[in-house]
Amino acid sequence: MLFYDSPNPAPNPRRVRIYLAEKGLSVPTQTISIRDGEHRGDAFLQVNPLGQTPALVIDGADVLTESIAICRFFEALHPSPPMFGSGARGVAEVDQWIRRVEMRLMTPLAMVWQHTHPFTARVVKPQYTEFGESQRPRVVAAMQELDAALASREWLDGKGYSMADIVLLTTIDFAVFVGVAMPEDATALRDWHARASARPSAQA
């Protein structure tokens, strides 16, 4: 087994690192530098033709290439403590919040990143800057929606720290890197972020 990782600010590999830290798991790892273009090199493209991290090679042959899929693989092997919810309703609720964060927050944030940030200009050609800037209000609106949801709960699913919180933490921190901060009046979201960031796993 070999885990292909990339350092911050890449949010998706960080999801897996935080998950593994919460589980107390250690996996052989190889770092792929996105800044140096290693994810587009011939050696890594043989692992993942999409040229994206993370990737997990299993038994030297099969490869998983999506962060949630990788974490679900480890969840099946190491179900305790549960990070994807417990019972039918609990699992569904965690999946619901993962989906909301990815679709309502991460999707417009990715457009801001791809079309406005100088780092991506070398690979996204052409950049549609006006379109990218138009997505910033959608990112802020999604943060405000999450702020409202967190006003009455400590963690996203209302039961405990889960994969949904990991997805949100990595997305919020990536948004800060991209240049979209949490709204000043989003006090519940900011309090949640402080709690999530205080967990030792957040340093992974």
Question: How confident is the model over 46-105, as pLDDT tens digits?
Answer: 999 999 999 999 987 799 999 999 999 999 999 999 999 999 999 999 999 999 999 999
With a pLDDT cut of 90, the percent of the chain lying above it is: 92
Look at residue 60 in the predicted model and tell me its pLDDT: 75
AA letter at 36:
D
The predicted model scores a pTM of: 0.96
3-state secondary structure of 204: coil
Spell out the domain ranges in the chain. 2-77, 87-203
In angstroms, the CA 154 to CA 176 distance is 22
In angstroms, the CA 48 to CA 163 distance is 24
Q: What is the mean pLDDT of residues 110-123?
A: 90
Tell how far CA 103 is from the center of its chain.
12
Tell me, which fold does domain 87-203 have in CATH? Answer: Glutathione S-transferase Yfyf (Class Pi); Chain A, domain 2 (1.20.1050)
CATH code of the region 2-77:
3.40.30.10
Q: What is the mean pLDDT of residues 190-199?
A: 98
